[in-house]
Structure formats: C-alpha cells, structure tokens
Chain A
Amino acid sequence: MTHSDGIVKPKTRRSKRFLQSREPKLIENLKNSMIIKGGNTSETLSQALKDVYALKKPNAVLYKKKNMVRPFEDSTALEFFSKKSDCSLFLFGSHNKKRPNNLIFGRMFDFHVLDMFELGIEKFVSLKDVKNDTCPVGTKPMLVFAGELFDTDREHQRLKNVLTDFFCGPRVSAVRLAGLEHVLHFTALEGKIYMRSYRVLLKKSGCRTPRIELEEMGPSFDFVMRRSHMASDDLYRTAHKKPKGVKPKKKKNISHDAFGTRFGRLHMQKQDLNKLQTRKMKGLRKRRGEEPAESASPKTPRIESDV
C-alpha cells in the first residue's frame, strides 16, 4: 500500500478518508487490537478471549476462525493480519498439552512484532459467572500495578508497559469525576500475575474526596509467565521517537523574576554613537559664531534621556 501510495488515487471521498485514517500521523489514532485463536482452543480459553474482547469492545476485532500460527517461531501471519486490519495490538490464544490455556499479549511497530509475552491461565473466572453489574462499554479503566517484581525484573517491567498499552483506553484530556467506574488491578507475586477487575463505588466521606468501595466485576485471571520476546533496545528506541511537530516549542529568552514579571532580552546591533538620531533641542544647536569654540570640545551625545 505504501508503494502505490500516490499512484493509485482513491476514487471516492469515503475511501480517501479510510486511507487517510490508516496512514502514519504526528498524533496517532487509538490502537486497535485483534484477538486471534490458534490451532486448538479450549473452552476456558475461548471464554477468556471473549471476555477480553468485551473489555476492549469498540477498539478490538475478534476473529472467530482458528489459525495454525506459531507466533514465537514465525510471526509473518500475524503481521499480515495486523496490516490488513490496521491493528497494532494483538492477543493470541492457543491450547496444547505442553502449554495449556496460553495467551500471548503482543504489540507491533510498523506492522512488525515489537514485544510478545506468553502468559498461561491457571485460574479464570468469566464475566458470566460473576453476577454483578458491569460498567458501560468504553469506560476508560484505571490501572493499578502492585508488587515489587514489576519494578525490579526487566521482563516484568516490559510486561507492565505492554499491559498498560493494551488496557489503557483512548487518550483523553479530561475525565468525568463520577465516571471513574472501572479499575483493573494487576498483582505480581512469586512469578504469578493476578489480574482482577473491579467496579468502583464512590461513597461519601467527610471531605471532598470520596471513599472507595470495590465490587468484583468482570473477568479475573491468574497468569503464570511463560516465554517472552522483547524488542531490541534500538528498535524500542526507534518506536519511541517523537516527531518534531509534537513537542511544544520552548520559547527562549523569556525569564521570570520572583514577582512574576516577565523579562526578555533585546540584542542590538553595534551602533555608531556619533551618527545617532536623537531629539533635537533648539538651544543646543551649533551656532555660527561659536563653532570654533565648540568643535574643540567634543560634543557628548545625549543618550541618557532616551533609552
């Protein structure tokens, strides 16, 4: 598509808008995710995939058919799907005897795999089994990570980044205070990761900030870390490179003092003080008779009054 990006022009406005939404931009769109099944899936796994799809509803595609793909060996098929559906996040689920109930969380950069983390589901409670109310689709969830493993271990750090990327919703500039209903809590303990999803109830406390009560909602997973594929350092750095337009330009030469007064510096060119244009005072003009006397003493240019 990039090859023929200008050569084949779109014939309708709609297709033009479609292509424009997919091309690289300064400030990017929200990342879409694709949820794919592998060669063999179990009941728990399919239900888990459906639940994650429900969490990520408008920005996710759930593929129903099974695909014989092994992401850790050959990721070209995943890259092809991602290019076709313009999804940069993926969740691949498969089940076999060696790795039962396997989920691979991954993300792409420029339609090539950046990071992949394989997590096995040990315990899973589905949305259907928890009978409490759920919050509306599309609410931006709050994310909480707990456990020093997320700070000390490199793999866990990267996994934290991947999970944030996966579950954080659209980027918003403001949030409705009463609308903070959903929280996803990840705990890393002894090589296992517990993911719980709660509904937040804001109760009255004595002061402005409410007291929180949590109600279990939504799927809960007990993950165990299996394989992982992390991007090389320079690929990771390239992926984080910010284009020039995005950073706000720093205004130089402006400083503030203690009172808040704004100061700026003016840089002048070199001035020839003899030829300076000043206010002409009639009394100071050279008179004919006094010329020789005045020419002896050089006239001091009057600069003090003006500047």
Chain B
Amino acid sequence: MASCSIEDVLAKAERDEAEKLRSITVNKELDLEFDPGNLLAFDKNRIDTREFKDSKGEDFLRSLARDNTQLLINEIWKLPTEKVEEVIVAKLPDPTTPLPREKPAPKPKPPTKWEQFAKLKGIQKKKKNNMVWDEVHKEWKRRWGYKRANDDTKEWLIEVPQTADPNEDQFAKRNKAKKERVARNEYNRLKNIARAQKIKVPGTGLAPTAQQSKSELAQAVSIAKKSTASVGKFQENLPKEKTPRNTGKKRKFQPLIGDFSSEKQKQLDLLKIMDSKKPRLDITKAVNKQMREEDKESSQKSKKSFGKKGRKGNMSGKGKGKAGGKGKGPKGKGRKPQMKQGKR
C-alpha cells in the first residue's frame, strides 16, 4: 500500500513538473544550433511549404518564430547569472559564429633607436608625476608643455657668463637653442618612422625618385650648385642657365626705428592725399576692368550649360576700387578705407 502510494506520489510529482514545463517546451525534429554569445539561433528543420500556404503566411511565420525564440530563451536562461546593481544579468560566453574582422590586424612596430638602446642597457621606463614644484613662482607647474616649470626661455634676467662675448644676445641664444632642440627631435622622429617603414632617406639633399619632373631636376641642379665650400658663390652658370634672383626673404618690412626723414615724408604725403579733392579712383581703368570681367563671365556662362555661378562676378565694386587705388597709395601705410562713391 505504502509502496504504491510512494510510486503514485512520484508519478504525480513528475506529471506536475511536466505540466509546469509544458508551457515552455517546444517539440522539434532537429535541435537548434545556438550561439548564445551572439544571441543567435539556427533552426535547420524543414519547413512545410503546404502549411505555409494553407494558413496565412504571417501566422505560420509568427508561430515558427515564437517556437524558435522560446528555445533560444530557454538556452539563455541556462547560462550562469549574477546580480549587478540590483539587476539580474546572464553572463554570455564568447560568440562562436566566425565573423570577419573590419581591418587587418595591426603589425607590431619595430622599436625606435632609443628603445633599442634602452633594451640593450636594461633601462626601465620610470613613471614621472605630472606636476613639478617651481621654486621661483612658488607653485606647482607642469613638467612640460604650456607654462611649464623651470622654463629657461622665459627668464627675465640672465647673467652673462665670463667667457661669453658681451655683445651677444643671451635671450636670443636660448631661444635659438630651443628651436634647434625641437628641430632635432622632429628629425629623429621622422628618421624613426622611415626606419620602421624601410624608406631610404638621404643624409642631405634630395630623395632618389625614378622619374624626375622639370621642377625636380631644376631643384637638383640648384642644390648641386650650392653644395660647395663657399655655398655656390663662385660657381659659373651653365650655358643657358639663368641665376634665380628670388632667393632670400620673400617679404620685406621696414624696420621700426629706421630712417626718420623718409617716415616723415611718407606721413606728409598721406596727409596731402587725404586733403586733396581729387577722387582716388581712376574711373577709366576701373570701367575697362569691369567690362573685361563681364565679357569673361558671359563667355563662361555660354560654355557651361549647368549655369555654374561665376565666383568672380559679385566682388566687382570693391575689388576694382582697391585695384584701381593700389598704384596711387603709399607703400606699406594704410590706404584710404573703401570710398562710398565707389562703383555705381
């Protein structure tokens, strides 16, 4: 009696379990393939096309989707969970579907000159703190960068050492030294890159190229000419070569404290022009220029059928006014600001 009641109890318990699980079990011929890392499920079962056509397609698809999703959810619920900030979270394994990369894997960079040396000597990188105590200003300043501590180019007083030339500018000397350090650093950085990419860099002069253009050849000739002990001063020209006169500074400014008499003369001339009643604009010149512009514009418009807007067109008044007046205005000093009676 007791035994069969135990059996009954067990059978009943089993049936109850099955009842509970009934709502979530789905019967399929073939098991689905799961990839919980990607939340992916793949159902390989054959789909009955007749069934699809009999019922309306949407309902069939929906029930199929419901079944498959149920199986996927069952699979996800089997994963280990943990509680993160009062939320239950399932930990996903790594995805198993092989997806291709976006970009190729990065190649390890070859070590720079310093890194090779450090490895050889066994020098370790020491972590330095960002701020340094500046005794002079009595505050914490950056180790390097904007407003850094112990910046020797920013000193207002430099003692001239005994051995130095009294006429030498010590401030300029420090600035120049800094510029040279910066230039050398940049040069070394580029050399490291060239070594890493295995590009041949010449010590001085031009890099070798297969086909030279006319300008590159001219450049090569001029560099070769200058590469003598006296920087090409005594080199004769080739038969048809012309000495280029455009070397040196491209813009020249008058010194601040220069020739007082010429400065005075310029100021007086300016005042005279401002007083005179003559208009600053050469009307004929301006009109001719405007007519030429308009002709050019109309020819362009007729060529291009899309009606591209002439970018030169609309600046006419101001542009011509300035161009017309440029010849007359004194050099360097301010021209009169744009006249109201310009181009009508």
Question: Which residues of A pack against B, CB within 8 Å?
Answer: 6-7, 23-26, 28-29, 31, 88, 107-111, 114, 140-148, 150-151, 160-161, 164-165, 168, 171-178, 180, 183, 185, 187, 189-190, 194, 196, 198, 200, 202, 205-214, 216, 236, 238-243
Contact = CB atoms under 8 A, between A and B. Distances in A.
Contacts of A180: 39, 73, 76
B81 A177 contact: yes
B43 A147 contact: yes
Interface residues of B, number: 57
B61 interface: yes
A242 to B, nearest CB: 7
Contact of B84 (A140, A174, A209): A174
A200 B71 CA distance: 13
Contacts of B38: 143, 164, 168
A141 B23 CA distance: 23
Contacts of A25: 103, 106
B122 interface: no
Contact of B105 (A29, A189, A214, A243): A243
Contacts of B244: none
Contacts, number: 187
Contacts of B46: 148
Interface string B16-60: 000111011000000000000111111111110100100001100
Contact of A142 (B20, B43, B69, B105): B69
B160 interface: no
A145 B43 contact: yes
Contacts of B66: 212-214
Interface stretch (B90-98, B209-217, B258-266, B309-317): B90-98
A24 B104 contact: yes
A6 B190 CA distance: 8
Contacts of B189: 6
B54 to A, nearest CB: 14
B49 A145 contact: no
Contacts of A28: 101-103
Contacts of B88: 176-178
B255 interface: no
B106 A24 contact: yes
A110 B90 contact: no
Nearest to A172: B92
Question: Which 8 A-B pairs give the minimum distances between C-beta atoms?
Answer: A206-B20, A243-B105, A239-B100, A24-B103, A185-B65, A146-B43, A6-B193, A205-B23
A111 to B, nearest CB: 8
A194 to B, nearest CB: 6
B92 A143 contact: no
B84 A187 contact: no
Contacts of A205: 20, 23-24
A174 B68 contact: no
Interface of B: 19-21, 23-24, 37-47, 49, 52, 57-58, 61-62, 64-66, 68-70, 72-74, 76-77, 81-82, 84, 87-92, 95, 97-106, 189-190, 193, 196
Given A148-B45, A196-B65, A207 B21 contact: yes
Contact of A211 (B24, B39, B65): B24
23 contacts: A6-B196, A23-B106, A24-B104, A109-B102, A140-B39, A142-B69, A143-B38, A143-B41, A144-B65, A147-B43, A161-B99, A175-B89, A177-B76, A185-B65, A185-B68, A198-B62, A205-B23, A206-B21, A209-B73, A209-B74, A211-B23, A216-B62, A239-B100
A233 to B, nearest CB: 13
A107 B49 CA distance: 32
Contacts of A148: 44-47
B69 A241 contact: no
Contacts of A189: 47, 49, 52
Contacts of B105: 24, 26, 241-243
Contacts of B43: 144-147
A216 B92 CA distance: 27
A177 B82 CA distance: 10
B42 A150 contact: yes
A261 to B, nearest CB: 25
A19 to B, nearest CB: 13
B104 A110 contact: yes
Contacts of A174: 82, 84, 89-92
A164 B40 contact: yes
B23 to A, nearest CB: 4
Contacts of B20: 205-207
B337 to A, nearest CB: 36
Given A24-B104, A160-B42, A239-B101, 11 more contacts: A7-B190, A24-B105, A24-B106, A25-B106, A168-B99, A174-B90, A185-B69, A207-B24, A210-B73, A214-B66, A241-B105
